[in-house]
Amino acid sequence: MSQTGPRTSGGPSVVVGLTGGIATGKSSVATLLAARGAVVIDADVLARDVVANGAPLLAEVAQRFGNAILSEDGSLDRAALGRVVFSDPSARRDLEALIHPAVRRRAAELEAAAPSGSVVVHVIPLLVETGQADRFDLVVVVDADEASQLARVRTRDSLDEPSARARIAAQATREARLAAADVVVDNSGAPDDLEDQVDRLWQRLVTFGEAPNIRPEKPA
């Protein structure tokens, strides 16, 4: 993924980490950025790809968790795997130790294959939880007020209020995420307002790499 120090010529001009709590609007922002020309690399999509039917990693996952996590056609039974890791932190850690490195490798390959001078946006829901903020030129956090977030989780995922609150509580706090942000996109308002903010963000991103000798340094 992104290297520290000056970017080599030929690669992306800026590499962004995009994160935010569940249903704050990460996918919405990523879609708007992609429409403006960003190369979007979505960790959730990669996490599914690396255990697609026939992938070598799927066999490793089945070896660790048993064939009960496979469907009849040999593909991953996500619900069954979810039940195994949900209540067992050490199983969850084992699963993450298998999946996360594969996702990062694939993300790095896709980043390296991005056109010269492009704006690369990695969408990583657990960027803060997994301590990856320093890997990026810029960390963009999508934020929404608690009421909006709760309503969007409930509507999108058809959850009752306690279940929606539990999903939110399982993630980093809003404060922890905002503390890691270089740029905050406030998605508490209407979709049009979000689009205006993404337009302004996009202008910043396309000019980011134009002064190669002035590399913004993050505070230690």
Size of the site for ligand ADP (CB under 6 A): 14
Q: Which of residues 95-154 bind ligand ADP (CB under 6 A)?
A: 152
How would you class 100 by CB atoms within 10 Å of its CB: exposed for 0-12, middle for 13-18, buried for 19 or more?
middle
Q: How far is the CB of 50 from ligand ADP (least distance, A)?
A: 20
Smaller CB separation from ligand ADP, 2 or 187: 187
Q: Does 26 bind ligand ADP (CB under 6 A)?
A: yes
Collapsed DSSP state (helix, strand, coil) of residue 121: strand
Stretch that binds ligand ADP, among 90-98, 99-107, 184-192, 206-214 (CB under 6 A): 184-192
Half-sphere exposure of 112 (CA within 13 A, CB side): 8
Beta-carbon contacts of residue 107 (< 8 Å; ≥ 6 apart): 1, 41, 43, 46, 122
Stretch that binds ligand ADP, among 15-23, 34-42, 109-117, 168-176 (CB under 6 A): 15-23
Smaller CB separation from ligand ADP, 152 or 174: 152
Binding site for ligand ADP (CB under 6 A): 20, 22-28, 152, 156, 187, 190-191, 194
